[in-house]
Amino acid sequence: MKTVDLIRKKRDGEKLSRDEIQFLIDGYVGGKIPDYQVSALLMSIYFRGMDDQETAILTDVMAHSGTMLDLSKMKGFPVDKHSTGGVGDTTSLVLIPLLAAAGLTVAKLSGRSLGHTGGTIDKLESIPGFRTDLSREEFLGLVERTGLALADHTADMVPADRLLYELRNVTSTVDSLPLIVSSIMSKKIAGGARGIVIDVKTGSGAFLKKLEESRHLAQALVAIGVHLGRKISALITDMSQPLGRMVGNALEVREAIATLKGNGPKDLEDLCCALGAELVLFSGEISDHSQAVEHLRSLLHDDSALKKFVQMVENQGGNPAVVDDLGLLPTASKKVQIMAPRSGVVRDLDALSIGRAANLLGAGRFTKDDVIDPAVGIEVVRKVSEHADKGEPVAILYVNNQANEEQAKSMVLQAYTIADKEVNAPKLIVERVTGD
Ligand code: URA
Ligand code: CA
């Protein structure tokens, strides 16, 4: 086989076989095929696309390019959740212990914040002592004994995705559906889960802003998961405004703890129960959808999920006393209230602007090497459909470094549109995409 022939084949819109895809991925990961040839291949895929079968093969081959986790011996049904990324999206912090409390196995590999969206690793690392750099043995040992653990992605897993993603970034081939789908799903497949739920965000704070694009991605992710024998569904959910009320690392840990005590914001609780219900149904423990939702809700209100959270924090070296004393979490030195410029109803609260403003305060990274400040962020006191009174706070900035305070302040103010007419809150769960 020659790489140049396979590039030509894809350039001309033909389908690549499993052997051919295997040859290309092995060659690239093994350093035998140079970047310039893979760049041409990626651009050919960008223009010619791949059908579901071809994308499923690419996904499978990528997943097998490194270590695969075997969770088949674990007691509970192994599940995973993926979000395409949102602003103030605290669901993983709640879902990991909630699913474990429901008896499922959660071996969660996660990433750090990049761009305007947060990462679960950064959020949980704001708990003093919490470690995510677990060895493979330590990680799997915790999962086996306690049903849950969270670790950073390691270099030995899915090296093909890491290499391809870097190359896509510099060849303008990131936004190709088969490349996005294979990138996301290869990591889920390598992670060993049998049941997968994908939270595909839609709206200004999402990676894909238009519903139609989000729907295409959701359908493609589900189709590829089904091809590879996984139980999988996707929820398309609103990201036109931030989820919950807190945006920022330690602030979101506080919000997650409140939710695990049954006192969280309703949208966050509802989304966690809806995403979790998909996985509970896949496990076969419960067969009725609304029963699954209510079961999960009860685990948030009877401290079962909170207990699993405490156990996870203890297991990973963190101080479990944070759940009773939120003052143990990093706290910003200054709170700045943003006042409503007029009285009325919040008609729009632009998620992207809030995410960017939180980043400016130091909650996120602009480049991979930036250091985040876990204490800072934004509380959205008023959300869409809620009344605001002139001179009362609509949002609060949590600030440590005052350098960007003024810019963040004006961004948050501009994120709000306050009008006279009553409006409804946006629908949280826009669509459900299933594999059948
Ligand atoms: N997230 C991923 O992991 N990969 C992509 O290609 C896009 C989003
Ligand atoms: Ca939040």
Mean pLDDT by 10 residues, the chain (436 residues): 98 98 98 98 98 98 97 97 95 98 97 79 96 95 98 92 95 95 97 98 94 97 98 98 98 98 98 98 96 98 98 98 97 98 98 96 87 96 98 98 96 98 97 95
Closest atom of ligand 1 to 111 CA is 3
What are the beta bridge partners of residue 429? 237
Annotated catalytic residue, options 112, 187, 254, 356: 187
Handedness of CA 279, 283, 286, 289 (dihedral sign): positive
Catalytic annotation present for 183: yes
Which residue, chain included where needed, has tokens 């996870």?
A: 312
How far is CA 332 from its chain centroid?
25
- The token pair at 379 is 């509380």
Let me know: does 245 contact 239? Beta carbons within 8 Å: no
CA distances (Å), origin 135, targets 183, 274, 327: 24, 32, 30
Whole-model pTM? Answer: 0.96
pLDDT of amino acid 153:
87
Tokens of 358: 């939180």
Q: Which residues line ligand 1 (CB under 6 A)?
A: 179-180, 183-184
- Give the count of beta carbons closer than 10 Å to the beta carbon of residue 171: 16
**Closest-CA residue to 84 (of 213, 194, 170):** 213
Å from CA of 88 to ligand 2 middle: 4
**Residue 184 alpha carbon, nearest atom of ligand 1:** 3
Q: How many A from CA of 185 to the centre of ligand 1?
A: 9
Q: Which atom of ligand 1 is nearest to the CA of 165?
A: 6
Q: How far is CA 26 from CA 17, 45, 58, 62, 217, in A?
A: 14, 18, 11, 9, 27
Verify whether residue 112 is a known catalytic residue: no
Tell me if residue 432 is catalytic: no
Tell me, in angstroms, the distance from the centre of ligand 1 to residue 280's CA.
26
Name the residue among 86, 90, 89 with its Cα closest to residue 253. 90
Ligand closest to the CA atom of residue 90 = 2
Instruction: Collapse the DSSP code of 83 into the 3-class scheme (helix H, G, I; strand E, B; otherwise coil) and give the result.
Output: strand
Q: Which ligand is nearest to the CA of 187?
A: 1
Domains and CATH numbers, the chain: 3-49 (1.20.970.10), 78-324 (3.40.1030.10), 330-419 (3.90.1170.30)
Q: Cα(80) to centroid of ligand 1, in Å?
A: 16
The answer to whether the Cα torsion of 18, 179, 230, 218 is positive or negative is: negative
Pairing of strands 195-202, 231-238: parallel
Q: Could you tell me which of 210, 208, 238, 202 has the C-alpha nearest to residue 424? A: 238
State how far the alpha carbon of 145 is from the alpha carbons of 68, 139, 150, 195, 315, in Å: 20, 10, 14, 20, 10
Q: Which atom of ligand 1 is nearest to the CA of 187?
A: 3
Query: In sequence order, what are the residues at sequence separation of 6 or more whose Cβ sits closer than 8 angstroms to the Cβ of residue 277?
Result: 289, 292, 293, 296
Nearest residue (by CA) to ligand 1, atom 7, is 180
- At 223, list the tokens: 């189709």
Both tokens of residue 216? Answer: 């295409």
Any residues with CB less than 8 A from the CB of 111 and at least 6 apart, and which?
119, 120, 121, 152, 153
The answer to whether 94 and 272 are in contact (CB under 8 A) is yes
Angle at 349 between CA 384 and CA 364, to 5 degrees: 130
Residues whose Cβ atom is located within 5 A of ion ligand 2: 88, 90, 243-244, 246
Tell me the HSE value of 298 on the side-chain side, using a 13 A CA sphere: 7
Determine the pLDDT at residue 264.
Answer: 97
Burial of 282 (0-12, 13-18, 19+ CB in 10 A): buried
Residue nearest to atom 8 of ligand 1 (CA): 180
Q: Max CA-CA distance within the chain?
A: 70
Minimum CA distance residue for ligand 1 atom 1: 184
What is the residue with the minimal CA distance to atom 2 of ligand 1?
A: 184
Query: Which ligand has the minimum distance to the alpha carbon of residue 86?
Result: 2
Ligand 1 atom at minimum distance from 174 CA: 6
